[in-house]
Amino acid sequence: MRGHIELRRVSKAYGANLALRSVSHHFAPGRIHALLGKNGSGKSTLIEILAGAIQPTEGELWVNGEQVHFASPRDAHDAGVVTVHQELSLIPSISVAENIFLGRLPKARHFGLPVVDWPELNRRTSELLGSLGIGIDPSVLVGSLTVGQQQSIEIAKAIACNPSILLLDEPTSALASREVEHLFGLIRQLRQRGVTIVYISHRMNEILEICDTCTVLRDGHYVGSVELAGVGSEQIVEMIFGEQHEIARSARGYTRGEPVLRVENLSRAGAFSDVTFDLHRGEILGIAGLLGSGRTEVQRAIFGGDPFDSGRISLNGTVVDRPTPRRMRNLGLAYTPEDRKHAALVQDLPIRENLTLASLDRLSVSGFIQSRLENRAVARQASELAIKMDSPEQKVSSLSGGNQQKVVVGNWLNTEPSVIFFDEPTRGIDLRAKHQMFDIIRAQADLGVSCLFVSSELEEVLQMSDRIIVMFEGRITAELDPRELTLAALYKACMKDTANV
CA–CA gap between residue 310 and residue 368 (Å, rounded):
39
pLDDT band at 249 (very low <50, low <70, confident <90, very high): low
Cα-based distances in Å from 239 to 207, 335, 400: 15, 36, 35
CA–CA gap between residue 139 and residue 20 (Å, rounded):
44
pLDDT in tens, 401-425: 899 999 999 999 999 999 999 999 9
Element (H or E) spanning 67, and its range? strand 66-68
pLDDT in tens, 331-371: 999 999 988 888 899 999 999 999 999 998 888 887 888 88
Closest CA relative to residue 276, chosen from 262, 264, 290, 294 = 264
Closest CA relative to residue 313, chosen from 260, 269, 357 = 260
- Please provide the average confidence, as pLDDT, over all residues in the chain: 89
What DSSP line would sit under 275-294, residue for residue? EEEEEETT-EEEEE--TTSS
Percent of the chain predicted with pLDDT > 90:
58
In the predicted structure, residue 173 carries a pLDDT above the cut 80: no
CA–CA gap between residue 308 and residue 254 (Å, rounded):
32
In the predicted structure, residue 175 carries a pLDDT above the cut 60: yes
In the predicted structure, residue 123 carries a pLDDT above the cut 90: yes
pLDDT band at 427 (very low <50, low <70, confident <90, very high): confident
In the predicted structure, residue 499 carries a pLDDT above the cut 50: no
Burial class (CB in 10 A: 0-12, 13-18, 19+), 447: exposed
What pLDDT does residue 235 have? 85
Residue type, 323: P
Q: Identify the sign of the CA torsion 473, 476, 478, 481.
A: positive
Kindly tell me the number of DSSP H helices and DSSP E strands found in the chain: 16, 24
SS3 call for 391: coil
Task: Report the pLDDT averaged over residues 433-448.
Answer: 93
Burial class (CB in 10 A: 0-12, 13-18, 19+), 358: buried
pLDDT band at 251 (very low <50, low <70, confident <90, very high): low
234 phi, psi to nearest 5 deg = -60, -45
pTM of the model: 0.72
Pick the CATH number of 5-241 from 3.20.130.10, 3.40.50.300, 3.40.190.290, 3.40.640.10: 3.40.50.300
In the predicted structure, residue 494 carries a pLDDT above the cut 80: yes
SS3 call for 9: strand
> How many residues in the chain?
501
Pair 328, 314: CB distance under 8 Å: no
pLDDT band at 484 (very low <50, low <70, confident <90, very high): confident
CA–CA gap between residue 20 and residue 45 (Å, rounded):
7
pLDDT in tens, 375-400: 899 999 999 999 999 999 999 999 98
What pLDDT does residue 256 have? 86
What DSSP line would sit under 330-389, residue for residue? HTTEEEE-S-IIIII--TTSBHHHHTTGGGTTTTEETTEE-HHHHHHHHHHHHHHTT---
In the predicted structure, residue 27 carries a pLDDT above the cut 90: yes
In the predicted structure, residue 248 carries a pLDDT above the cut 70: no
CA–CA gap between residue 328 and residue 304 (Å, rounded):
7
